[in-house]
Amino acid sequence: RVSTQEQEQGHSIDAQIAKLREYSKRNNLEIIKEFEVVESSTRGERPEFYKMIEFVESQKGQVALVCDKVDRLQRSFTELPVLDKLRKQNKLVLHFLDIGKLDGDSNSQQISFYQMSVVMANAYTNAISDNVKRSILHKLNNGECIQKAPLGYLNIRDENDRSDLIVDKSRALLIQELFKMYSTGTVSLGDLSKFAKENGFTNNFFKGGAAKTLSKNVISVILKNPFYYGEMYVKKYDKYYPHKYEMLISKALYDECQRVTLIRSRANNRIQAIQS
């Protein structure tokens, strides 16, 4: 797994494989299997990594695991016990092009150096995560959308190739009409779905090129989305952020639609209580 910058510096996966093959040949190591473990060691499961471990365990003799760097094998402490157990059982010898070899006879200094390399790799990952969080918060505080544009808007790239968001002129008027009609309290979600079908109002999140008419559920989500009056709700932070983009409706119209929904919800609950 490599970044764009590393690719430009000649550290592509192909370049790594070439170096590892050369190292194996130079150290008289027979290559019996090659693994490309590109999955993250800090997010969830690592099926390819553990497939590699199972392969090592299935071999009768000792196996050398040759890696470019420690951080190419792991960037968390989760895998340490797994690798350490095989190393102590003399089933596995770790070869890293940056820090050397680690086997069952390695001394405490060598082991500590390896563990420190894992610590540094983990610290680097944490630093990247912190930078990403700071960048996201900076964008949110500047009113920039970090999610896929809601229906009625479009994600684009500006002249500087930066992400931006504009109003979807073909759908914006229909979005406004949905809010206006629903705010009267005289039309249902089913009526709005029929209106959407009659006006060819389809979503822009379809797959396979088959656009779909807005369902009642999709319309319900639209009517509850504060983005249309100027605020973004970010679930991760459970917070509303004002955005910098063109608003399609007023806050007053949005609030009226929420009031209609609340009244209908209470009425439906009363009807269900009477029937039960």
Could you count the other beta carbons within 10 Å of the beta carbon of residue 212? 11
| Interval 65-114: pLDDT, tens | 999 999 888 888 888 899 999 999 999 999 999 899 999 899 999 999 99
Highest mean pLDDT of the ranges 45-49, 190-194, 261-265:
190-194
* Letter string b/e over residues 19-47, b meaning 16 or more CB atoms within 10 A of that residue's CB: ebeebeeeeebeeeeeeebeeebeeeebe
Q: What is the mean pLDDT of residues 228-240?
A: 94
| Interval 106-147: pLDDT, tens | 999 999 999 999 898 888 888 888 898 999 999 999 999 998
- List Cβ<8 Å contacts ≥24 apart for 200-209: 201/171, 201/174, 203/151, 204/151, 204/154, 204/168, 204/171, 205/148, 205/151
Helix (H) or strand (E) holding 245: none
**What's this model's pTM, rounded to 2 decimal places?**
0.64
Q: What are phi and psi of 218, to 5 degrees?
A: -65, -40
Q: Are strands 63-67 and 92-96 parallel, antiparallel or unpaired?
A: parallel
| Interval 138-182: pLDDT, tens | 999 999 999 899 999 999 988 888 889 999 998 999 999 999 999
- Cβ(245)–Cβ(165) below 8 Å: yes
Q: Are strands 163-167 and 231-234 parallel, antiparallel or unpaired?
A: unpaired
Strand partners, 223: none
Q: Residue 10: is its pLDDT beyond 70?
A: no
